[in-house]
Structure 1
Amino acid sequence: MSNVKVFRLAYADFFSQEPKKMVDYYTTTLGYRIMEEQDGITYLSNGVDHHNIVIRPGNQKGIRSYGYQLDGKLSLEEVQAQLHSQGIDSTLIVDGKPGVSRYLELHDPAGNTVELFTVMAQPVIGYGTTGILPLKLGHIAFYAKNFVETVEFYSDVLGFTFTDKIGEAFCNFLTCNHEHHVLNIVSSDETRLHHIAYQLRDAGHQYASSDILAKQGLNVLWGPSRHTAGHNIATYHHDSDGNVVELYTEMDVYISELDIFEPRPWHQELPLKPRKWEGLSSWGTEFEVDLAKI
């Protein structure tokens, strides 16, 4: 068992064929602030971190890499040695990203580029004053080839914990902290982003976010509805590049010591433990867009 432990998803690094439109989406619609621009790459933040979103020009769209912060109990050199002992190659990158002076770059079994770091600069750029203004980047969902091996990688190598699944071998939810899920891995014959998710304050914030989307000409694809796994109330829309974005609130809180979720009035069984679900919506709501086919 590895002693390597991730404790949060810190950033997502995007390729974009139209980076100016993506930057405009993140600044105007979501309300993120530009931290810095370097070599055509834009680094955006909505709190204390140097960046939570990176947008870079490319001949493709979608995710370039995901950044996860480690608990710091091991140095990056010690982490690299542990990875090597498990047959996992990684490269120590120095001064490869503003705000993150050192990180390990590696690939999960699905082919995603993963960046592991212990320290990020915190210039405290603060929240914006217009736009949706999510509390934070909450989780990533991605389609994964080598589904079983990918789930095992995040569990056995990076210290994630299983919390729920939809179907027997279709979709697994994993967490590295108290939130129901930080990763949502969907079985597929290809690897690509399914959606990126941002936490909102409450239901009122969610209603207001849909109004802002409408003013920006961005249609809500699915929701609002309460999910089964995680019980978060969620809506989904497309960003300017066509990536699916989830805005959610009321995510289940996982108590690892008890292997249960904090009780909520809408839980149909108490105590609620990690389990298998058969559908997406606990309200039984039918929508025109099936998220499993995005």
Structure 2
Amino acid sequence: MTRRLITHLRHVDLAVPDLRTQQDFFTTTWGLTVEHSDSGLTFLAAEGSPEQYVVRLRESADKRIDLISFGAKDRADVDTLAGDLARDGVQLVHEPTDLQTPGGGYGFRFFDNEGRTIEVSSDVAVRQHRAIEAGESIPVRLSHVVVNSADPEGTVAFYDKHLSFALSDTLVHPRMGSMMWFLRTNAWHHSMAIARGPHASLHHASFELRGIDEYMRGTGRLLRQGVEKIWGPGRHLAGNNTFSYFLDPHGNTVEYTTELETVDEDTWHPHLYDFSNPEVSDQWGTANAMNEFVARKSFNDPDKGLFVAPPV
């Protein structure tokens, strides 16, 4: 296996027109904690995660993904990866430098093949965190991020070639061909997935809960509060994780999940799963059917931040 310099997913940063409403949703409703704040910026932590924050919100006229952040082992690996990308012609947003975001650290940013801003960092201070208690229906950590791509084959190839992401499984459809690719950066089945869509955008951000009971309690709590549910509750076949998808106030899909599969990377062989088989999307058969409504909501609005780095 090619030496992988990316260790894990750190955070996803979103720009939204109404910062106060979005922050209220992610804290009061979703269960994250405001760990740091600045003018027009909010950094939200998951109580069970050592990451300084798992979501950053920035107030902006344009709704967009500001960036997706991944971790590296140390400064040497950050420098190596930045040098490799530059030599391969990947456009860097900035060279490796000391970071000014909460927890500090050392990192750089670059544009992927479709123009998303990606950050890689090391030496970020560990946040004081705690074990989530039984029955506590708040996120433990950021599980994975899924993006829509108008060129999914090219995007999968980019993350394979330049970041050594490994393919875990692929969803295929008899009429539409390959639909979603699950990519891993460690033993978790996926930290990122690429979905075929009409444009580049956020498909969903997923948050791990403590267990099945906490996941169901969280799903029920959001339903009682009137948050719009898109799909679920159910259990996927690829990754074997549970799913409940909801819409945040700006139309981004966010997911509660638990029990994401870990794989033996030395022996794992990717599967091709036929998405037209209902048990592939939902082993339990408890979720509403995957249909055009669910798909349209997951397409989201076209990302307005492609090849435009966020100001902070």
- TM-score category of the 2 structures, normalised to the smaller one: 0.7 to 0.9
Tell me the equivalent position of 1:184: 193
Give CA-to-partner distance per residue, 1:33-65, whole Å, 9 cap, x none: 111111220111123322111011011223111
Tell me the equivalent position of 2:220: 211
SS in structure 1 of the partner of residue 189 of structure 2? coil
Task: Report the Cα offset of residue 21 of structure 1.
Answer: 1.1
Tell me the equivalent position of 1:152: 157
Give CA-to-partner distance per residue, 1:202-227, whole Å, 9 cap, x none: 21112210222023221322111111
Tell me the equivalent position of 2:288: 287
Gaps of 5+ in 1: 260-272
Taking a change above 3 Å as real, the CA distance of residues 151 and 194 of structure 1, as seen in their structure-2 partners, is: same
Give CA-to-partner distance per residue, 1:147-191, whole Å, 9 cap, x none: 222101211211211010111432111111111111110123410
Task: Report the Cα offset of residue 243 of structure 1.
Answer: 0.9
Tell me the equivalent position of 1:110: 114
Identity %: 24
Letter in 2 for 1:278: D
Does residue 76 (structure 1) correspond to residue 75 (structure 2)? The answer is: no
Gaps of 5+ in 2: 276-280, 299-312
Task: Report the Cα offset of residue 101 of structure 1.
Answer: 3.9
Letter in 1 for 2:127: P
Taking a change above 3 Å as real, the CA distance of residues 156 and 212 of structure 1, as seen in their structure-2 partners, is: same
Tell me the equivalent position of 1:34: 34
Tell me the equivalent position of 1:196: 205
SS in structure 2 of the partner of residue 181 of structure 1? coil
Does residue 100 (structure 1) correspond to residue 85 (structure 2)? The answer is: no
SS in structure 2 of the partner of residue 69 of structure 1? strand
Q: 172-181 or 89-98: which moved more? A: 89-98
Q: Distance in 1 between the 2:145 and 2:38 partners? A: 25
Q: Distance in 2 between the 1:29 and 1:128 partners? A: 17
Taking a change above 3 Å as real, the CA distance of residues 32 and 126 of structure 1, as seen in their structure-2 partners, is: farther
Q: Distance in 2 between the 1:50 and 1:127 partners? A: 16
Does residue 276 (structure 1) correspond to residue 242 (structure 2)? The answer is: no
Task: Report the Cα offset of residue 3 of structure 1.
Answer: 4.7
The alignment yields a C-alpha RMSD, in angstroms, of 2.4
SS in structure 2 of the partner of residue 148 of structure 1? helix
Q: Distance in 2 between the 1:118 and 1:75 partners? A: 8
Residues matched between the structures, number = 281
Q: Distance in 2 between the 1:204 and 1:238 partners? A: 22
What TM-score does the superposition give when structure 1 sets the normalisation length?
Answer: 0.87
Tell me the equivalent position of 1:263: none
Task: Report the Cα offset of residue 114 of structure 1.
Answer: 0.2
Taking a change above 3 Å as real, the CA distance of residues 226 and 104 of structure 1, as seen in their structure-2 partners, is: same
Taking a change above 3 Å as real, the CA distance of residues 208 and 153 of structure 1, as seen in their structure-2 partners, is: same
Q: Distance in 1 between the 2:99 and 2:191 partners? A: 27
Q: Distance in 2 between the 1:276 and 1:128 partners? A: 35
